Structure 1
Amino acid sequence: MPDFVREALDSRSLRAAYEARPPYQRNDYLLWINKVKREDTKLRHLEQMLAELEAGNVYMGMKWNG
């Protein structure tokens, strides 16, 4: 996990919510954030992941019943 993702999870107290997700979701999020080249897009993807973790019932823009 990149440091900037770890720091964002910790600063918003979302590490436990992230760790509670299935491994495929954690991997998808990290790949989705890191595969893009532009920094603003990385940050937008990161923010979406954080918002979805806060909501708890959303995964990649789709309803999720975890």
Structure 2
Amino acid sequence: MRTDVSGLKRPRHPMPAFVKDALDERGLMDAYKQRPAYQQNDYIGWILRAKRQDTKESRLRQMLEELEKGGVYMNMKHAASEKR
């Protein structure tokens, strides 16, 4: 039985331990979970598609910075996540 209520039609990327650890260390797990399911999935897929480790790390840093700042998603303005 499927319990995914995100509404995503495409395959969902499981969160790797290194991403979870980084979110926990920076205290950003709540900010991550407040993002829509498609954004969570896109971030994880984007990070995992990188072939080189330094690219994965760079993409992870970008995600963390965007979550910390708010109002940004993949270098685009995202009003729904702006910090107040």
Superposition TM-score tier, normalisation by shorter sequence: over 0.9
Counterpart check, 1:61 vs 2:75? yes
**TM-score, with normalisation over the residues of structure 1?**
0.98
| Residue 38 of structure 1: how far off its partner (Å) | 0.3
Residue number among 45, 57, 64 corresponding to 1:31 in the alignment: 45
Aligned pairs (5 A) from 1:41-60 = 41-60=55-74
Q: Over the residues paired in the alignment, what is the CA RMSD in angstroms?
A: 0.4
Instruction: Name structure 1 gaps, 5 residues minimum.
Output: none
Aligned residues: 66
| Residue 6 of structure 1: how far off its partner (Å) | 0.2
Instruction: Say which structure is richer in helix.
Output: 1
Tell me which of the two structures has the higher relative contact order, counting C-alpha pairs closer than 8 angstroms and 6 or more residues apart: 1
Q: How high is the sequence identity, in percent, across the aligned residues? A: 58
* Per-residue Cα deviation, 1:11-43 (whole angstroms, up to 9, x for no partner): 000000000000000000000000111000000
Instruction: Name structure 2 gaps, 5 residues minimum.
Output: 1-14
| Residue 58 of structure 1: how far off its partner (Å) | 0.2
